[in-house]
Structure formats: structure tokens, C-alpha cells
Amino acid sequence: MSEEKSCAFKTSIGGQALMEGILMRGPEKQAIVIRKPDGTLEEKVEGYSLPKDKYPILGLPIIRGAVNFVDTMIKGVKAMMYSAEFLPEEEQGEPDKLDLWIQKHFPEDKAQKVIVGVAVALGIALSVGLFILLPTILAGLVAPFVGNGILRNLIEGLFRIVIFLSYLILVSRMKEIKRVWMYHGAEHKTIFCYEAGLPLTVENARKQPRLHPRCGTSFLLIVMVVSILVFSLVRWSNVWVRMLMRILLLPLTVGISYEIIKYAGRHDNALTRIISAPGKALQLITTAEPDDSMLEVAIRSLELVRPEERGAGDSW
């Protein structure tokens, strides 16, 4: 079946796969729907605001990309931790020492916020270290054999993409992650079904593609590619200076990448199909065909956040 589908309209509704569930975010509210061990659904709906709602300057192009990325990561970590609470006890595992220390030294109402903050900080640090700084170090090792600065940047970018792909492939071998990828596929199929103007049923959603141009996986790959261009602005040969400049230029890289995927998400033409193609190919790793119970979760989560009038308030 072809992965290309024409859409009646483009929605801004998006989601995130969780542990046995899905977070779906609409124009005014977000919903978490979890499949509990007994087969019933746990639903949590709440309103949300974007940083730009409080500080309009954060909604400007480029700036909004980096800000929204951090905001989405924070909300995503909270949702993932919430979904883990419904796993069978034998799968939840024991709290790690850091969580126990935080729970011991902070009031109960603040401990959860601290745990989420630490998780986000560690996630960002790991991502920056693994996908930004490590390739810079590796490129520095081959620098004596590469005289051309442009070639050195290309080699560094190649290292970055290889490390990213290797990481996804290794993570995909985990049993729990395989099910997350299936929920990821269910999320995409349901959004396609909604965009096509079809009734939100399991039968209709099952027929939809699982590869979506507006996906977090595609966004991260675009970041990897854009970084090659942005980081080429750095001319220093000292590896420590280069690492520092990579960190300083990262918000710009993320911001540009956000604008690119936003454009690709609201247009369907030859250019956007070219832009989306590598990300869709990568989604062959990060999505999988869902079963009907997963589609039911995705459908319910979208039903809880879609506007009363189809397309109202959520078009690009």
C-alpha cells in the first residue's frame, strides 16, 4: 500500500506515543489515554498553554522552534511518567536512587516537578552529548588527516547521523519500545484518518499510512541535516571551541528545523515531499503497524481534543 495519501485539510493536532497509550494535543487541550492492564481505558484531559501565550516574543519564527521543543519535551516526559504508573507492578520496577533522594528532600507537591525537571535536563544533556558533542570529538580525531574545513564538517555530520541511526536501531530492539512504536503508528494513522475527513473508526484508521510528514522522528533527522549547514559557520579548529559553539548554535539549528517541518506539514508539493522523504524512511524504524486495540486508544485520544467543528481552530 502506498504511503502517500491526499488530505482534505491539514490539522495541527499532534501526538506522542506512551507506554500503552497516547498523548494527543489539540488546539485548546491535550488528552492522555492509557490502556490499563484490565483492558479498560484511563482518560486524562486538561487544557494547556504555549509559552508564546504568556510571552508573545517566544512565538516569533526561529525562536518558537527551540522554545516549543523544550516545552514539548517537558510535557512529553510528564505524560510518559504518568503512563508508566498504569503498567503492571512487575514491569514498573523500583524507583531509582535519585528519585528516592528527591522524594525524601522535597515536599510531595514539589517532588514530582523536580523529578520531571531532572529527567528533562538529563534527556537534553544526553542528547547533546551523544548527538552533538560526540560527533565533534570524533571529527576532531580525524582532523589531522583532513585538511579541508568543509570536508571536516561533512564528516562530523556523517558521524552525527550514523550515531543517531544506530541509537534508534538499538533502542528498537527493546520489547517495551516495540509496543511504543506500534502506538506511534496508531497515532499517525488516526491523524491521517481525521485529515481525510473520514469517520474515526478502527476500520478507517487501519487503512491509513503510518508514515506522517509532521513527526518528531522526521524533525530530529532534519535537525541533524540542518546542523551540518549551521555548524559550518564555525571556523575554529580547536575542538573545545567547536564544542562550545555547537551548543551555542543549537537553538538556532532547532529553530530553523522547526520552521522547515512546519512548512512541510502544511503544504503538499514536490519540495515538501522531498523534504519529508528521509524522515518517512526513518519512521520505518520508529513506527510499526498497530493492532485494533491501539487504534481504539488513538481514536479516543483524538476525539477528546478535536474541535467541535472539524478543522476549526486547528488548521495551519
Grouping H, G, I as helix, E, B as strand and the rest as coil, residue 42 is: strand
* Structure confidence at residue 237 (pLDDT): 77
Residue 187 forms part of a structural domain: yes
* In the block, residue with C-alpha cell 498553554: 49
Share of the chain above pLDDT 90, in %: 49
Q: Which residues contact 26 (CB under 8 A, 6 or more apart)?
A: 13, 302, 304, 305, 306, 307, 314
190 lies in a domain?
Answer: yes
What band does 4 get if pLDDT is binned at 50, 70 and 90? very low
Quote the CA–CA distance of 220 and 160 in Å, as a whole number: 11
* Amino acid at position 87, single letter: L
Q: How confident is the model at residue 316 (pLDDT cuts 50, 70, 90)?
A: very low
Question: pLDDT at residue 84 above 90?
Answer: no
Judged against a pLDDT cut of 90, whether residue 63 lies above it is answered with yes
Confidence of residue 110 (pLDDT cuts 50, 70, 90): confident
Range of the structural domain that residue 82 is part of:
14-303
Whether residue 297 is predicted with pLDDT greater than 50 in this model: the reply is yes
Total length of the chain: 316
- What is the model's pLDDT at position 160? 93
pLDDT at residue 43 greater than cutoff 70: yes
**Please, what is the average pLDDT of the chain?**
87
Q: Does the pLDDT of residue 76 top 60, yes or no?
A: yes
The answer to whether residue 54 sits within a structural domain is yes
Residue 32 lies in a domain: yes
Cell of 46: 486538561
The pLDDT score that the predictor gives to residue 202 is 96
Burial 93-109 (b: 16+ CB within 10 A, else e): eeeeeebeebeeeeeee
DSSP sequence for 233-261: T-----HHHHHHHHHHHHHHHHHHHHHHH
For residue 8, the model assigns a pLDDT of: 60
The pLDDT score that the predictor gives to residue 50 is 85
Please say if the pLDDT value at position 309 is more than 70: no
Q: Tell me whether residue 7 is in a domain.
A: no
Q: What's the number of domains the chain is made of?
A: 1
- Whether 4 is in a domain gets the answer no
Instruction: Specify if 310 maps to a domain.
Output: no
DSSP 291: P
Band the pLDDT of 310: cuts 50, 70, 90. Answer: low
Residue 290 near residue 298 (C-beta atoms within 8 A): yes
What pTM was estimated for this model as a whole?
0.85
On whether residue 20 sits in a domain, the answer given is: yes
